[in-house]
Amino acid sequence: MTPPVAGRRATILRLIMLIAVAAAIIALARNRELLAPGAIRRGLARCGPFAPIMFIAIYAVATALFVPGSLLTLAGGAIFGPVLGALWNLIGATLGATLAFLIARYAAAEWVARRAGQRLGRIIRGVEEEGWRFVAFVRLVPLFPFNVVNYAFGLTRIRLAEYMIASFVCMAPGAIAYTWLGYAGRAAATGEAGAIRTVTIALALLAAVAFIPRLARRLRQVPDDARP
């Protein structure tokens, strides 16, 4: 394959991705109410056994389109329960973060650079100095807006596999806590047996997640030769 042909194919791929993203943004702007938890629950009820796949797809696309992930995570907990809900939420969030990463890397680098602003330089330096560990730290400590940083990481040199694994593992605590919160909200609203215990667990998980950023900062400041 000659370089000009490869260049044309890369340009066509970028154009297709940009058109797809633009179409999704327009569709979301016109039908934003479809992302409300109640609307998602009604839509998934018609999907039968394919409901988890549909939910993951909705979550991934919504994440790439800057929809707050907490709303979908709460919905996932209310619809699927604390265990499967956490799993589907985490897969959806990881795929959405990956989609944003790929869009930035192959289709919209200039737009992402303008959107990220001065934060981009800090992210690039962090990845150059620490690699996947910086991705893990950012996932645990919300230094930057979640949706923006997903795109910004696409402009760094980190490998896709490292980015996905670090994101999946380090987004898990927050996904579990907010999934439990959504499940607890449904239990309290419907008067299910054990609702008080469910709410207590959810609050305990949220308290634990709130402590993680402080712990991550403390561990990050410890020199490597001083760690056990």
Rounded CA gap, 63 and 98, in Å? 10
pLDDT for position 34: 53
- pLDDT of the residue at 2: 45
pLDDT at 153: 95
CA distance 219 to 221: 5
pLDDT at 85: 95
Tell me the pLDDT tens digit for each residue of 125-137: 999 999 999 999 9
pLDDT tens digits for range 148-194: 899 999 999 999 999 999 999 999 999 999 999 988 888 887 777 77
Phi and psi at residue 190, to the nearest 5°: -95, -5
Cα 40 to Cα 64, 70, 108: the distances in Å are: 17, 14, 29
Domain ranges within the chain, ordered by starting residue? 50-222
| Own/partner pairs, 216-224, CB within 8 angstroms, 24+ separation | 216/137, 216/140, 216/141, 217/141, 220/137
What is the model's pLDDT at position 89?
96
Residues 6+ apart with CB under 8 A from 22: none
Residue 91 · residue 58 · CB < 8 Å: no
Question: Which pLDDT score, from 0 to 100, does residue 176 have?
Answer: 94
What length does the chain have? 228
Distance from the Cα of residue 19 to its chain's centroid: 22
- Residue numbers of the chain with a pLDDT score lower than 50: 1-3, 222-228
